[in-house]
Amino acid sequence: MMQESGTETKSNGSTIQNGASSGNHLIECSLREVRSNGETTSVEIGAADLAHLQQQQQALQVARQLLLQQQQQQQQQQQQQQVSGLKSPKRNDKQPALQVPVSVAMMTPQVITPQQMQQILQQQVLTPQQLQVLLQQQQALMLQQQQLQEFYKKQQEQLQLQLLQQQHAGKQPKEPQQQQVATQQLAFQQQLLQMQQLQQQHLLSLQRQGLLTIQPGQPTLPLQPLAQGMIPTELQQLWKEVTSSHTAEETASNNHSSLDLSTTCVSSSAPSKTSLIINPHASTNGQLSVHTPKRESLSHEEHSHSHPLYGHGVCKWPGCEAVCEDFQSFLKHLNSEHALDDRSTAQCRVQMQVVQQLELQLAKDKERLQAMMTHLHVKSTEPKATPQPLNLVSSVTLSKTASEASPQSLPHTPTTPTTPITPVTQGPSVITPTSMHNVGPIRRRYSDKYNVPISSADIAQNQEFYKNAEVRPPFTYASLIRQAILESPEKQLTLNEIYNWFTRMFAYFRRNAATWKNAVRHNLSLHKCFVRVENVKGAVWTVDEAEFQKRRPQKISGNPSLIKNIQTSHTYCSPLNAALQASMAENSIPLYTTASMGNPALGNLAIAMKEELNGAMEHTNSNGSDSSPGRSPMQAMHPVHVKEEPLDPDENEGPLSLVTTANHSPDFDHDRDYEDEPVNEDIE
DNA sequence: CTATTACTAAACACCA
DNA sequence: ATGGTGTTTAGTAATA
């Protein structure tokens, strides 16, 4: 385990550096992944100890093999067609991904949506790398599917051509050929269906393995903070940036195979597909609607006038509004102006964020409604209110179903020192409202991931989530206590204030008070880093940062994956790369997502998170900066940021902002929506 | 296998 | 006497 992750770090190290220099290592990875047909997969997954991940990989391998077979068959069909003298789409094997035209707009690849990815992450089952791999696999699948669909579409056209020819040329004995094509198409349709099923199975298996806990009617709640800070003007600004930075970024990444597959969004080369990938169905239901490729492909032309990117004679590509006389010219325009390039993908990504934000907004409002209804006891009288428990706030409604699942849902019993009600935070250590029904009372007290940075990222992102959901925060008590103290204006708190912070920040600590309060006291006494200071009004607790840093390295040495990501993100500096990184994070690494969205509320916990990362950094970087007392390693890294981040101050929403601002930007804390806590000063 | 760390539980002391 | 606070010990689990 340790050794594995160690090698992983090293092997990734080179990748990081590549990425740092070229800014495209993800692309390269993706391509490599696609080309080598999975051979690199095992390398990519460092923590292959997760059994289900391996299963997942196997499933994907199988799926890809099947897809390859299908591709071969497809090529045979092409060859047959060529023999028959028809003009056929030209594709070659070597670069399947690069040849995908952009015009197929009506398809719904069954990719894991970013939301689902987020959920997976929040369950802390997968490391970002593993997710990356999954993503890449998904992309490979999707690309292949795309090609198949494309080919299928062309076949359709050819068939029509043939028919036309026959009609014009009279009844010529071409029927055998036509039949052949027809049967080919039939077979092809079946293949497509198979593929759809495969991907669905893939998703199902994900769900089965607990990697995905999305269930119908369950919006992906934990995403809430994701785009909270996103206001329309910001979005517009983003657009501007994305558009303007186009030329700059072109030079950066065009040379490299111009195929950026680092995100699910991007991988859908056709711009209009973005909306499909993040289609509300997929994200809110978790049950990806299976659109039969047949219908979509067949009806492509017919449905052309309802093209989501075309309306009123205007291209509705965000920020475009080019006038297109008819649909044909629109298609031309689409293919020429919005082809697969960095700009389009970036725009795609922004659009994705927009949609996400809207979805989140919707989810929030729903949640609000739910809370209101719950508050008004609508729940008891109107069972319809409960079927959509959007948040754990409504976990009351779970008590019935979850009674067998988790003692956590028991009423507040602080005085009864019964078995520590450790919630189901373990296996999938973040519980989504739904998963709570499923997961049994895993009594393992500490998950192996208990202190893993990934959780830290998670917590930062899902601060709101932890506030409402009774999910055990993946921090040590010491970290949390320190966090609470550092957040206070005077950097000192009484024990009671610490208690209050805990309960305010984490729903989890609103119950089992006896247990965790004891633990808090225990930690305060035990750790030298907590210093008791006699005060006028009693004793307060402070943090001896030096002592705290001393004991950090031990904590999270386990997970270098995030470190890699952090470092990677540090090295990106161009706006586009920042955007790419952000959106990549969006799909696979929640940490930066939140930051990139500039959610002002994550400041405080971000600090804790940062500290966790610090520990990791310090530990892994054996060169490790003699972390001077009171200074976190992250601070030592600051110059790097400053140097490499030539972005304007507003660029705080960039992927780096979390790290950058966590400790040093008072502004960051000002906007927090914490009710009773006075706005605290910056640290140190 | 050992050492370390974190967590839980609990006993105990002190004090207002 | 009681509850809050603080200290300490013991046992368990995970990890390096």
Q: What share of chain A is helix, strand, coil (3-state, %, to 5)?
A: 60, 5, 35
CB-strand contact A419/B, under 7 Å: yes
- Residue A214 corresponds to which tokens in the numbers above? 């999305």
pLDDT of A196 reads: 53
H helices of A84-214, in order, are 114-122, 128-168, 175-208
Provide the CA A478 to C1' B10 distance, Å, integer.
20
CA dihedral A36, A79, A73, A189 (to 10 degrees): 120
444-483 on A, CB < 7 Å from strand C = 444-450
CA distance A363 to A367: 6
The Cα–Cα gap between A368 and A491 comes to 34
* Residue A545 confidence (pLDDT): 86
The length of chain A is 684
| Environment class of A543 (CB within 10 Å of its CB; exposed 0-12, middle 13-18, buried 19+) | buried
pLDDT digits (tens, 9 = 90+) for A349-400: 656 665 666 666 667 666 666 666 666 554 433 333 223 222 322 232 223 2
CA dihedral A333, A334, A335, A339 (to 10 degrees): 120
- For residue A666, give every residue at least 6 positions away whose Cβ sits within 8 Å of its Cβ, in sequence order, or none: A681, A682
Instruction: Give the tokens for residue A50.
Output: 């997760």
CA–C1' A174–C1 (A): 105
Q: Check residue A312 and give its pLDDT.
A: 74
Phi, psi of A647 (to 5 degrees): -95, 155
Residue A513 contacts strand B, CB under 7 A: no
DSSP A341: S
A355 contacts A278 by C-beta, under 8 angstroms: yes
Give dist(CA A209, CA A56) in Å, integer. Answer: 9
Question: Within 426-455 of chain A, which residues have Cβ less than 7 Å from strand B?
Answer: 445-446, 450-451
User: Which bases in strand C are touched by protein, i.e. have an atom under 7 Å from a CB?
Assistant: 4-10, 12-16
Residue–nucleotide distance: A509 CA to C8 C1' (Å) = 24
Within chain A, which residues score under 50 in pLDDT?
Answer: 1-60, 62-64, 66-68, 70-71, 73-131, 133-135, 141, 148, 151, 167-183, 188, 192, 198, 202-304, 378-460, 554-604, 614-684
CB A106 within 8 A of CB A303: yes
At A23 the three-state DSSP class reads coil
**Closest nt by CA–C1' to A555:** B5
β-partners of residue A533 are: A540
Tokens of A610: 């940062």
Nucleotides of B strand lying within 7 Å of any protein CB atom: 4-11
Q: How far does the CA of A601 sit from the C1' of B5, in Å?
A: 31
Cα(A633)–Cα(A460) distance, rounded to whole angstroms?
19
Q: Which two tokens stand for residue A216?
A: 């119908």
Å between CA of A497 and C1' of B16: 19
- Would you say the C-beta of A496 is within 7 Å of strand C? yes
Is A587 within 8 Å of A530 (Cβ atoms)? no
> Start-end ranges of CATH 1.10.10.10 in chain A?
470-551
Q: Rounded CA gap, A602 and A658, in Å?
A: 8
Measuring alpha carbon to C1', the residue closest to nucleotide B16 is A538
By the 8 A CB rule, do A146 and A107 touch? yes
* A494: nearest nucleotide, CA–C1' criterion: C5
CA of A551 to C1' of B5 (A): 9
Report the SS3 class of residue A472: coil
- For the CA of A68 and the C1' of C11, the distance in angstroms is 55
Say how far apart CA A48 and CA A298 lie, in whole Å. 42
User: Which nucleotide is at minimal CA–C1' distance from A619?
Assistant: C16
Strand partners, A359: none
For residue A243, the SS3 value is helix
- Among candidate residues A64, A76, A93, A74, the one with its CA nearest the CA of residue A148: A74
**Half-sphere exposure of residue A608, counting CA atoms within 13 Å on the CB side?**
30
Distance, Å, A507 CA → C9 C1': 30
Residue A142 to residue A196: CA distance in whole angstroms: 10
Asked if strand B comes closer than 7 Å to A475 Cβ, the answer is yes
pLDDT tens per residue across span A295-337: 333 334 444 456 777 777 777 777 676 777 777 787 777 777 7
The separation, in Å, between residue A2 CA and nucleotide C9 C1' comes to 31
Three-state secondary-structure class, residue A493: strand
Q: How far is the CA of A2 from the C1' of C13 (A)?
A: 17
SS3 A296: helix
Assess whether A532 (CB) lies less than 7 A from strand C: yes
Q: Using the 8-state DSSP alphabet, how is residue A185 labeled?
A: H
The answer to whether the beta carbons of residues A531 and A542 sit under 8 Å apart is yes
List C-alpha distances in Å: A344 to A149, A172, A280, A304, A628: 21, 46, 21, 21, 45
Class at the top of the CATH hierarchy for domain A470-551: mainly alpha
**Nearest nucleotide over every DNA/RNA strand to the A524 CA, judged by C1':** C6
**Three-state SS letters, A606-656:** HHHHHHHHHHHHHHHCCCCCCCCCCCCHHHHCHHHHHHHCCCCHHHHHCCC
CA of A407 to C1' of B12 (A): 30
Phi, psi of A523 (to 5 degrees): -65, -40
CB of A394 within 7 Å of some strand B atom:
no
